[in-house]
Amino acid sequence: MKRKQIEKQIKYESEHVKIPSVYLDIKQKIDHLPRQEVYTLNNTIKRRFSLVYKVSVSFVIVLLISLVLFRFRNADPMDDDSIVEALLYATITSSSYTTDIVNTQTSDEIILLANGQSENDDEIESEANYLTKYLKMMEILSNDTNNYEFTKQKLSALSKSYQLAYVIENIEGESINYLLTYELEEQEDNKYMINGTLIINELTYYIDITYDKENKTLETKTYQNENEYVLVSYHKNDETFNYSVSHIEENDIQESIEISFESKQSIRLSFMNGQSRGTYEFQVETGVLGRKYLQVQYQIGQYAGTMNIRVLASDNANYYFEVITSEGRTFSFTKTRRNNNK
C-alpha cells in the first residue's frame, strides 16, 4: 500500500474507534516504506489514535462508575421516601410499644375526681387506665411527617452500611431522637433483609427488618432481649396505612393490635388480642390555652363516647394522666416505668 492509502485508512479507522487490531495492522503495512515516511506515519497514528483512545477509555470508565453507583443506589430501598416513611412509622410504633407499653406498669393509684357515680364507671376506668399506655405512641403518630427531620448517610463507600437519623416532637413539644444504623442484604425477588440497632433518646434496641419491594410490605422485629420482642407488619391499601403489632414473650402472644389511618388527623386503634375490648379513634386537639391533648372516640362493648386525655406531668419514672369522659367524669392515673433491662 502507498502512503496516501495508509493515511486514509488511519483516518477512517481512528474515526470508527477500531483501535487494537487496526493499530497493529497499519504498523505492519508501513514497515516496507522509506524511513522518513515511516516516521511521518507513526506520528499520524499517535496523533489520531491517542485522542480517540483517551476519549473511549474515559467513556468506558465513566460508564462503569455510573453502573456501579446506579446499582448501589437502587439496591437500597431506603432511597424510596415512601419506604423511609413506612419504616419510620414502624420504628415509632415498635419502640413506643416497647418503652411505653411493655416497660410501663399500671399502678393502683386511680382517682375518680368527679362526684357521683355512673353505672359504667368501672368499665371506663379500666379501659382508660389501659388506654393511657398508648398515649405517647398515638401522639407521635399523629404528628405531620412534614415536621420530621431526617437524614441518611452511607457509612462506607464499599459496604452497605447506613445510618438513618430523624427527630420527632410529641404534642408536648419534647424532641425524640431516633438513630437507625443498619446493614442491607439483597435477596431474591426484590426482597431485602435489614439488620441493625435503633437508638431512641439513649435507649438501644435491636431491629430486624424484612422488606418486599414489589408488594411494598415491611415487617420489623424490635427487641432488647430475644425472649421478648415486638413485631410490626406494615402494608398499604390505596391511601390507607395499616400496621399490625404483636407483643411476644417466651413465644406467647401477649397482645395484638391493629393501627390504621388515611391521614394523620385520625388514627384507629383496634385490639385483636389482649386486655381491652375497645376500638378507638384518636385525634389531636388544641385546648383553650393552646395546649394539645388527645381526643378519643371509643366503643367499649355496649358503651360509646369520648375521652379527652392529656399528660399532667412526667418525670424519669412516672407519667401522670388526666382523662375526662363525655359525661364530664374525670379520672387521674399514674403510670410507673419499670427497669428496661429485664
**All cell numbers assigned to 109:** 393509684
d(CA 248, CA 229) in angstroms, rounded, equals 6
What pLDDT score does 208 carry? 92
Give the single-character DSSP code of 273.
E
pTM of the predicted structure, to 2 decimals: 0.64
Q: Mean pLDDT, to the nearest integer, of 284-289? A: 78
Q: Mean pLDDT, to the nearest integer, of 194-205? A: 86
Select the more confidently predicted residue: 105 or 298.
298
Select the more confidently predicted residue: 209 or 119.
209
**SS3 label, residue 291:** coil
Q: Which of 262, 212, 218, 277 is nearest to 93 (CA)?
A: 218
Asked whether the predicted pLDDT for residue 12 surpasses 80, the reply is no
Number of helical H runs and strand E runs in the chain: 6, 16
What pLDDT score does 108 carry? 45
Mean predicted lDDT score pLDDT of the chain = 71
Q: Mean pLDDT, to the nearest integer, of 73-83? A: 62
**All cell numbers assigned to 85:** 416513611
Give the single-character DSSP code of 57.
H
